[in-house]
Structures are given as structure tokens and as C-alpha cells.
């Protein structure tokens, strides 16, 4: 187990797609992925089309670790897609890095996916009789393989024919025949935004921050059930499946996943998180001397709490902002200091103080308890925890790595029992109604299943459980032999 024992919902993935002849498309994709790094830190990859010849480079690690100057120079072309991954189906292995590729009608199809497919068994049965070998254990390759079985001449028509057969959460970018496609499931679980470059070409990205960094003007979001086709200087939008009557945008995009500067559903994420803190202060006030966040994701809500309560805001915990994915494990003595690798308290600021400590969520409770212990050891008189999401009581099957209830402390303990477990003076969570007021959009627009257990999409029994459910599926022996450090070009 990770010595920090992850106490957050692990991220979804990040995707980008663009068509921009005359531009350095791999470099644009690199910077867009760099802005989306918060959505996945396991692997990164870019596929580039140069006169319909597709080259893919992907590797384990962060964007800045995977791509070097010489690598980007070797990825020239007119269009590109890219991906950063956190695994929700399929293990953390090189073969599961994206984009994934299959051949369709003699053309390569490269695909990158954010979300989780729930009718995977049905889709695998559809592959029977087709000469297609799956070489990974992810549901994303399954999407590419199914699309590859369609015989339509135009890739747009092939995708339009296949998407109605797919159930689950999917925001996808696809590259084939010199065309970049982006499409979104009819529930709209995961976001996908459209941007326009100054030269009139277009970019797709999971969040608007992935557009901002490359100088693309945010146009709008891809709507649920829509497909967007990008060709040089042109964008085509088709409604390929009707939007679901009740939408399912993951409300955790607003709570935790999305970057604070991103715009979703016409609202800046940071402002919504401010309002979550304000609602928390109204619902669960505390008699305290200072409000501090657990940085960085608790910061906007802590600012809102301080503003609404009148309690001074301070930064009592300092984050090491250069901590990313690392394969270097600490020795036993360093493990005792565990959480200090990421966070360190300021004793002179918090000693003798009654603190309101604001965070966005508690999943397992392990890291939270270490932070509370650390604050008391630094001299805090009281620690009042305030959480800007309701208790997470049910697993997610749509792209968050909480596939079983046993991973969720709130599914097995009451709030008072969680308070005792983490050692806080008090503990309160924002109510579901308070959260909805902060988001200021109808509840029918959102998937809130992690709080309510009411899923917008039916979940087959074979999907419930481990994200490693495909690991026993026979794989191509060549794929088995690849090492995690072996790139593909």
C-alpha cells in the first residue's frame, strides 16, 4: 500500500484532440495534457497523424517525464490526440497506457478515453467472429476494437453507428483518416470542451484549462450524445444519440476533479467551491480562531467558509508542490513521517488555536487522521473538520477508483464514528441540499450516486468489484512481454 494511503477519490483521465495544420500539434497536445495533469498521473501518451500515417508515443509517468524535446520533434503532423491516465479499469501497466490503436478498413484508429464502460461483457461478445485480438485489460481498448469492426467507409459514420451500443461514461477523442473526433455519452458523465485557436482551427480538451494553456478560446462544451469532427479549419457537430432524459454529469468534477480555473456548465469551478464553503459555514458553524484548508483542493471552500463565518483565514499547512508520482519509496524511519512528504504544519501560526480545517472529501480516512494528529502535535487546541462534500457512501462505476463499498469509510461508519477514527474535535459534512445550492444547477443534471446510491445508468453485476476484472483475459504474448519503460512509435 502507498505509504500515504490515498484518502481522495482518485482522478478520472484527461484527454485532448486537435486539428491544426501548420502548427506543432504534438507540442500543443503536450501543453494541453500538462494543464490536465491533475486528472491522471500514471501514464501519458500522444498520437499524431501525418498525411494519414499515425505515430503513437506513450509511457508510464508524468507528462513532463514522458515527453522530451527530441520526442516531440519526432511527432510531426497535422492533427493529434493525447491522454493522461489514472486507471479505473485495468491495472497500472504500460500496455494499458493510451492512446490505444486498432486497424479499421486498412486505417489506424487511435483512441483516448475518459470514463468507464459498464456493458463490457456485451461488447466483448460483439467481437466474437472478428479477427481482433485485445492486447490490454482496459475498457478503452474495447471501444477502439468495437469501432474497428464497423465497415462504414467514413470514420464518422462508423462511430455514429457504434456509440448507441455503448453504455457507461465516456468522453472520447479519436484520430483516424486525418480526422479528429470527440464524442460524449448521452448522460454527459465526464466533461469535454471545445476551443478555437487564433488561426481558426479547433481543440478538444477535458477541461477549459486545457484550452487556455494553448491560447484557444473556449467555445462551449460538447453536449451529451454529441459527436464533434475536427478537420483543418472546420468543425462539424452531430447529435448521434439522444441525450438522456436525466443527465449524469459527475458532481465530483465540481467538488474535486476539475481544476479551479476551469469552466463547467458555464460556471467557474473555484467560485462554486467558494460557495460550498459558505454553505458549510451556514450549516455547521464552529467557534474557532482560524480557518485553514488542507491544500490545495480544500482552499477555495476554506476561503468561502472564512468569508461567511467571519473567522480569519490562514494557511496553517504548507504543501510541497513538487510532489508528484514517484517510484522512490522512503525507508522505514521516513515512513513514520509519512504525510510530511506532502504537508507540513506551521506551529507558530496554529499553536494554541482552535482551528476549522476544511477539506473537499474523505474516502478512507487514513490520511485525514494523520493530518489531525499532526495539527494537534503542532499545538492546535481544537481541530474542527468541515468537509465540502457529503459522506461518500457508495462506489462509483463511471471513472472514479472506488469500485467497492469497503474502500469507503462512510459506508461502514457514522459521522460520529468517523470523527472518533480521525481524532477531530468535531466533524461535519455539507448536506446534499447544501451542495446542490452551491452548484446552483438542477439536481437532475448530475450523477450523485456516490452519495445516494441512485445510479443514472444500470450497473451489470459483472462490473461491480475490482477494476482488475479483465486481468485474467488472455492477451497477445507480445503485449505481455513489453516492459513498462518501453515506448511504442
Among residues 186, 384, 415, 351, the alpha carbon closest in space to that of 285 is found at: 384
How far is the CA of 265 from the CAs of 38, 185, 208, 223, 440, in angstroms? 20, 16, 11, 10, 10
Among residues 115, 132, 110, 122, the alpha carbon closest in space to that of 53 is found at: 110
Helices (H), 288-440: 299-309, 332-335, 347-350, 366-377, 415-422, 432-439
Distance from C-alpha of 165 to C-alpha of 155, rounded to nearest angstrom: 16
Active site residue 13: yes
Assigned C-alpha cell, 6: 490515498
How far is the CA of 455 from the CAs of 163, 188, 257, 448, 449, in angstroms? 20, 13, 19, 8, 5
Written as one string, the DSSP assignment of 201-270 is -EEEESSTHHHHTTTPEEEEEPPTTEEEEEETTEEEEEE-SPPPSS--EETHIIIIIS-TT-EETTEEHH
Beta strands at 263-264 and 267-268: parallel, antiparallel or unpaired: antiparallel
Identified catalytic residue from 13, 95, 209, 396: 13
Residue 234 exposed, middle or buried by CB count within 10 Å (0-12, 13-18, 19+):
exposed
Q: H-helix or E-strand containing 184?
A: strand 179-184
Distance from C-alpha of 382 to C-alpha of 352, rounded to nearest angstrom: 8
Strand extents, DSSP E, 265-340: 267-268, 290-293, 317-319
Active-site residue list: 13
Amino acid at each position: 500500500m502507498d505509504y500515504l494511503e490515498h484518502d481522495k477519490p482518485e482522478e478520472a483521465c484527461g484527454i485532448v484532440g486537435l486539428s491544426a495544420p501548420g502548427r506543432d500539434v504534438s507540442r500543443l497536445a503536450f501543453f494541453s495534457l500538462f494543464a490536465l495533469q491533475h486528472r491522471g498521473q500514471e501514464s501519458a501518451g500522444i498520437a499524431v497523424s501525418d498525411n494519414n500515417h499515425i505515430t503513437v508515443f506513450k509511457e508510464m509517468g508524468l507528462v513532463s517525464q514522458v515527453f522530451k524535446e527530441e520526442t516531440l520533434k519526432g511527432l510531426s503532423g497535422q492533427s493529434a490526440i493525447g491522454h493522461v491516465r489514472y486507471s479505473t479499469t485495468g491495472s497500472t501497466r504500460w500496455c494499458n497506457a493510451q492512446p490505444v490503436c486498432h486497424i479499421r478498413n486498412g486505417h489506424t484508429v487511435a483512441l483516448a478515453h475518459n470514463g468507464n464502460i459498464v456493458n463490457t461483457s456485451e461488447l466483448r461478445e460483439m467481437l466474437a467472429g472478428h479477427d481482433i485480438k485485445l492486447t490490454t485489460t482496459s475498457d478503452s481498448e474495447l471501444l477502439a476494437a468495437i469501432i474497428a469492426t464497423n465497415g462504414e467507409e467514413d470514420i464518422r459514420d462508423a462511430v455514429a453507428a457504434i456509440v448507441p451500443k455503448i453504455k457507461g461514461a465516456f468522453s472520447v477523442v479519436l484520430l483516424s483518416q486525418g480526422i479528429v473526433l470527440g464524442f460524449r455519452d448521452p448522460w454527459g458523465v465526464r466533461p469535454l470542451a471545445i476551443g478555437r485557436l487564433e488561426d481558426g482551427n479547433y481543440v478538444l480538451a477535458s477541461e477549459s484549462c486545457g484550452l487556455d494553456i494553448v491560447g484557444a478560446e473556449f467555445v462551449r462544451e460538447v453536449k451529451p450524445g454529441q459527436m464533434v469532427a475536427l478537420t483543418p479549419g472546420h468543425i462539424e457537430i452531430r447529435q448521434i444519440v439522444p441525450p438522456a432524459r436525466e443527465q449524469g454529469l459527475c458532481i465530483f468534477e465540481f467538488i474535486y476533479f476539475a481544476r479551479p480555473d476551469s469552466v463547467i456548465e458555464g460556471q467557474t469551478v473555484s467560485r462554486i467551491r467558494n460557495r460550498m464553503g459558505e454553505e458549510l459555514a451556514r450549516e455547521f458553524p464552529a467557534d474557532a480562531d482560524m480557518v485553514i484548508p488542507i491544500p490545495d483542493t480544500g482552499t477555495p471552500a476554506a476561503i468561502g467558509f472564512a468569508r461567511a463565518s467571519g473567522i480569519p483565514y490562514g494557511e496553517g499547512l504548507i504543501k510541497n508542490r513538487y510532489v508528484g508520482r514517484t517510484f522512490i519509496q522512503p525507508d522505514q524511519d521516513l515512513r513514520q513521517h509519512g504525510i510530511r512528504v506532502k504537508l507540513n504544519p506551521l506551529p507558530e501560526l496554529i499553536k494554541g488555536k482552535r482551528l476549522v480545517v476544511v477539506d473537499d472529501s474523505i474516502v478512507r480516512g487514513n490520511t485525514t487522521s494523520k493530518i489531525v494528529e499532526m495539527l494537534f502535535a503542532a499545538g492546535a487546541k481544537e481541530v474542527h473538520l468541515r468537509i465540502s462534500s457529503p459522506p461518500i457512501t457508495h462506489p462509483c462505476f463511471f471513472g472514479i477508483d472506488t469500485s467497492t463499498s469497503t474502500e469507503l469509510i462512510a459506508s461502514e461508519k457514522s459521522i460520529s464514528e468517523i470523527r472518533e477514527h480521525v481524532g477531530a474535535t468535531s466533524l461535519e459534512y455539507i448536506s446534499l441540499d447544501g451542495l446542490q445550492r452551491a452548484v446552483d444547477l438542477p439536481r437532475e443534471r448530475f450523477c450523485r450516486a456516490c452519495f445516494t446510491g441512485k445510479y443514472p445508468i444500470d450497473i451489470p453485476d459483472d462490473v461491480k468489484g475490482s477494476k482488475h476484472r479483465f486481468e485474467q483475459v488472455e492477451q497477445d504474448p507480445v503485449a505481455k512481454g513489453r516492459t513498462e519503460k518501453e515506448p511504442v512509435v
